[in-house]
Amino acid sequence: MTNRTDPARATRPSRRDLLRTLGAAPLAVGALQAAPAARAQGQAASSSKARIVIAGSGLGGIAVASRLRALLPEAKITIVDAKQEHNYQPGYTLVATGVWPIEKVRNRNAEFQPAGIEWVQEMVASFDPAGNSVTTTGGQKIDYDYLVVATGLQLDYAQIEGMDVKAIGQNGLGSVYFSPEAALATWQAMDAFRAKGGQAVMTLPTGALKCAGAPLKMTFMVADRLRQAGTMGQSKVDFYTGLPADTVFGVKVVNDNVLARWKDLGINTHYLQKLVAVDLGARKAVFASPEGERTTVDYDFLHVVPPMRAPDVVKNSELSAKEGPMAGGGWLEVDKDTLQHKRFANVFGVGDINGTPRGKTAATVKKSAPLVAHNLARVVAGQTPDQKFDGYTSCPLIVREGSAMLIEFDYDGKLTPSLPMIEPLQESFMAWFMKYRLLKPAYIGVLKGLV
C-alpha cells in the first residue's frame, strides 16, 4: 500500500478559512440541535407503566429510548439487540477515502445505553404484532404494550453473483457500506489503485438506499485521490447506475449539479445498468439492462453498492408492507407523516427500516426520533399523534478533500437549508468542516436525547 495521505496536511485551511469556520461553528451546532428537547413541548412526564420494546440499538433505537425515558419515566423500556459494537456509519466514507482512522467510527454499544432501561443482548427472531410480543434468538418471548422497530436494513450482497464481502480490499474491490473493517479495506484498495491509476468502476443499484450520497462521495473522492497522486491523466472513472438516463440522485437540482461537476472532471456515466455479477479474480464486473442484456466491464478498482431491503425478520412478518411501492423491499409499513404503523397502532418505526419515500440517513433520525417518542407518548396517554415528519434528510456531499456541499431536503425533494452561511449547491470548507469535525458530536447528542 502506498503512504496514506496526512489528513491534517491535506485539509489544513488557510487562516482566513479557519477564523471564518470557528466563528460560524456555534451557529452550525445550534442548527444541529434544532430538534425538540427531550421532553416534547407542552407534554408532561407520564406516570404510565407501559411496557415498551425497542427492536434495535442503532442510532434510532437508542435515541428513541433516551427520549422515552424522559417522557415516560415509569415505563418499562426494553432494548433488544445483540450488537456489542456501535458504529458511526456516517463516518464510513471518511475511513474509506483515507481521511479518518477506523477508530473514529467504533464505540462500545454499552456506552450509549440509557440509564434505567433493560438491554436484552439477543436479536429479535420474530415479531407477533397481533399478540403484542417478540421472540428472541435465545427463545425468550417478550410481551409489550408498545413496540418501536429500529432494526436498520439488510445489505443484500447476495443479489450480486460472485460477490464476497470477505474479499473487500483485495484485487481492487471496495464497498464502503459493510463494516468499519470493510471501509478501511476499501481505502487500502483505493490507495493502491491511485498510485498507478487505471479504470475505476463505481456503481449504484436501484431501490431504496441507505445514505444515497455515499456512492457519489466515493466517486468524487476517487477522482480527487487520482488527482492528488498525479495519475488522473492515465485513468478513467466510470459510474454505472441502474437508474434512468441522467439520474444519479433523487433530488433533481442536486442531481444536475453533480452531473455537471462530473462532466468537468471527465467522469463518465452509464444508465439503466445494474451490477449483477463480479469475477473478483479476473477483475470483471457484469451489468444488466432492464431488458436483460449483459455487459462485462474490466476494472482496476470497483466500488460495489449492494441492493438494500428490510431484514428478513421484518420482511417476513406482518409488520412489512404488503402492497404498494414498499412491499418489494419488505419495508415497515408506517405512515410517512406520523411514523406510526398503518395497521398496528401501538407500533412505530424509526430509521432505515421505515417504508417512507425518503429518509435513510442519520440526519433523518436526528429529526424523527423526537417525533416518534412524542407521538408514541401521546398514544400511551390515549391521544392521537399530532406531530408530522417532513422527510428531512441531510447529506454533506464531499466533492474533494477539504470541500463539500451541505445538501438538506424534504419528502418533496425541496431544499431546506438550515445554515444561512452555507449555500446548499456551492461547495465550501465549512460544509467539509461540519462533516469532518462537528457531526459526530451531534450524533452522540442524538443518542443521548439531547439533540
pLDDT of 204-234, one tens digit each? 999 999 999 999 999 999 999 999 999 999 9
Share of the chain above pLDDT 70, in %: 90
Residue 200 pLDDT grade (very low, low, confident, very high; cuts 50, 70, 90)? very high
- Of 429, 363, 418, the closest CA to residue 391 belongs to 363
- pLDDT attached to residue 44: 54
Q: Which residue in 402, 399, 392 sits closest to 434, CA to CA?
A: 402
At residue 5, the pLDDT reads 41
Question: Taking residues 358-385, what's their average pLDDT?
Answer: 96
What local confidence, expressed as pLDDT, does residue 26 receive?
A: 41
pLDDT the model gives residue 6: 42
pTM of the model: 0.90
Opening angle at CA 436, ends 239 and 209, nearest 5: 40
Residue 40: per-residue pLDDT: 41
Contacts of 417-422 with CB under 8 Å at 24 or more apart are 418/31, 418/34, 419/24, 419/27, 419/28, 419/31, 420/27, 421/24, 421/27
pLDDT higher than 70, residue 251 = yes
Q: Is the per-residue pLDDT at 451 higher than 90?
A: no
Mean of the pLDDT values across residues 165-192?
A: 98
- Per the CB < 8 A criterion, the answer to whether 283 and 251 are in contact is no
Pull the grid cell for residue 330.
Answer: 419488505
Task: Give the pLDDT score at 34.
Answer: 41
For residues 415 and 61, what is the distance between their CA atoms, to the nearest angstrom?
A: 27
- Using the predicted structure, report yes or no on whether residue 331 has a pLDDT greater than 80: yes
In 3D space, the residue among 339, 309, 352 whose CA is nearest the CA of residue 152 turns out to be 352
Q: What are the residues facing 77 on neighbouring strands?
A: 52
pLDDT at 372 over 90: yes
Average pLDDT in the 328-344 region?
Answer: 97
Tell me the C-alpha distance between 430 and 359, whole Å: 24
Arithmetic mean of pLDDT, 266-283? 98
Q: Any idea which of 21-35, 245-259, 291-305, 315-329 has the lowest mean pLDDT? A: 21-35
Residue pLDDT, tens place only, 28-45: 444 444 444 434 444 556
C-alpha cell at 374: 412524542
Tens of pLDDT along 49-76?
A: 999 999 999 999 999 999 999 999 999 9
- Over range 317-335, report the average pLDDT: 96
pLDDT mean across residues, the chain: 91
d(CA 215, CA 221): 10
The arrangement of strands across the sheet holding 294-298 comes to: 274-279, 284-288, 294-298
Q: In Å, how far from its chain's centre is CA 148?
A: 19
Coil, helix or strand for 159?
Answer: helix
State how far the Cα of 69 lies from the Cα of 63, in Å rounded to an integer.
10
